[in-house]
Amino acid sequence: MLFQRTLIENTLPGVSTRPVAHYTRIGTLCHFITDNPSGWGSAWATPVQFLNDRKELSLGLEVLREVANRRPLSNQRVRSKIDDLLETLGDAKTDAFQMSFSGNPDELGQWRGYAANGMGCSIVTDPVKVSQVADVAGWILYDGKRQRAFARTILEGLRNEKDINTIGQVLVAAASYMKHEGFQPEMEFRLLKFPDSKAVQFRESGDRLVPYID
């Protein structure tokens, strides 16, 4: 589990009991349904590097770099890791697998983008319960001022951290909770997990092989 889960989650808006919705194609619904009266059977998470918006991770990293290079400067180890992540988008140890939900169970953009243009489904669930399977969970930040304040807190929490893998995971996780303000109608709630490599599987998606975890 991510060592600084509380560092990230305590700086994000708190997890509320307001239901959240996962939009998907109707063919995926069978994976969620179980014989039990409650709970999910299966749900797939994919790396943030494979999202439809390829710039999504880099936007958060750019915010972190901007704040890290302000005085007082973040330590050199952290600043170098941010530069490395922006150039390479990380490695197996910093691959954050994500699953997204919306605070709006009937949002037009979500129906169009993720639920087969309205022919799919919106699976409504409890954010507190689904957070239990994640390494980090929280609401996305869209406002630039709040993003910079969030980045400042994260970087301050890393000031005395020496383990480069921990630094990389925290930076990727933090960057994953910042998006362009144009996506604000999504009201996104996101789960993140840094899995053991043995848990990673692959599936075909269009002309790509996409890694995922269940």
pLDDT in tens, 109-151: 999 989 989 899 999 999 998 899 899 999 999 999 999 999 9
pLDDT in tens, 44-69: 899 887 776 657 789 999 999 999 99
- Neighbouring C-beta atoms of residue 142, cutoff 10 Å: 18
**What pLDDT, on the 0 to 100 scale, is given for residue 50?**
74
In sequence order, the 6+-apart residues with CB closer than 8 A to the CB of 167 are: 77, 78, 81, 158, 161
**Helix-strand-coil split of the chain, %, nearest 5:** 45, 20, 35
What are the backbone dihedrals phi and psi of residue 208, each rounded to the nearest 5 degrees, phi first?
-125, 155
Per-residue pLDDT tens digits for 174-184 = 999 999 999 99
Q: Which tens digit of pLDDT belongs to each residue from 29-50? A: 888 887 766 667 788 899 887 7
For residue 163, give Cα distances in angstroms to 16, 30, 172: 32, 42, 15
Average pLDDT score, the chain: 89
Query: Can you give the pLDDT at residue 14?
Result: 76
114 near 30, Cβ under 8 Å? no
Q: What is the pLDDT of residue 137?
A: 94
Structure confidence at residue 1 as a pLDDT band (50, 70, 90): very low
